[in-house]
Amino acid sequence: MKEGEFTSCLTKYSRIYSPLWPSSGPYAPLSPSLVQAHEKHNIVIHVDDNDPAKMNIALNNAANVDAYYKEKGEEVKIEIVAYGPGLMMLVAGKSPVEERITSFEQNFDNISFKACGNTHKKMEKKAGKEVALVSQAQMVSSGVIHLSERQEQGWTYIKP
């Protein structure tokens, strides 16, 4: 679908079905101005594999989404949430993408990294010592719950 086709389709649809479809209320067709007015985007990216290729895809997705919306002059906020085996992405000294994460911190003020507290506690218990995370990681109590809550708040979910 080309740019603008969606809104023209909505306009056409609302004209064709207007006698059958309510013109106001929750079921009314969206006006083209409402469709185009969405200029703030929230994206949450899920990483749960200890796979450097998937970690890099998640980082590529984040950088590409950022570039796309910046080019359009629209704001985007991106969170990369790591849990389970994917938490290795955020383990200091062991992350296969640690240098890229450092680069992200220097180049993107709208991309953040969330670490699952549940997984982190289990890692520390298994290791018998503290497991340091990269400085860019912010701890959340549960990665799964954080992802769920973000989706409930209307964030777009991406699983590379």
Choose the weakest-confidence range: 35-49, 74-88, 138-152.
35-49
Across the chain, mean pLDDT equals 84
Confidence at residue 21, expressed as pLDDT on a 0 to 100 scale: 44
Closest CA to 119 of 52, 56, 48: 48
Say if residues 147 and 157 touch (Cβ distance below 8 Å): yes
Confidence at residue 38, expressed as pLDDT on a 0 to 100 scale: 55
Per residue in 100-125, pLDDT tens? 999 999 999 999 999 999 999 999 99
Q: List the structure tokens of 58.
A: 């998640």
From residue 155, give the alpha-carbon distance in Å to each of 10, 78, 121, 147, 151: 24, 9, 27, 9, 5
Q: What domains are there in the chain, each with its CATH number?
A: 1-37 (no CATH), 39-158 (3.40.1260.10)
Higher pLDDT, 19 or 143: 143
20-35 average pLDDT score: 47
Phi-psi region of 132 (alpha: psi -120 to 50; beta: other; left: phi over 0): beta
19-40 average pLDDT score: 51
Confidence at residue 39, expressed as pLDDT on a 0 to 100 scale: 76
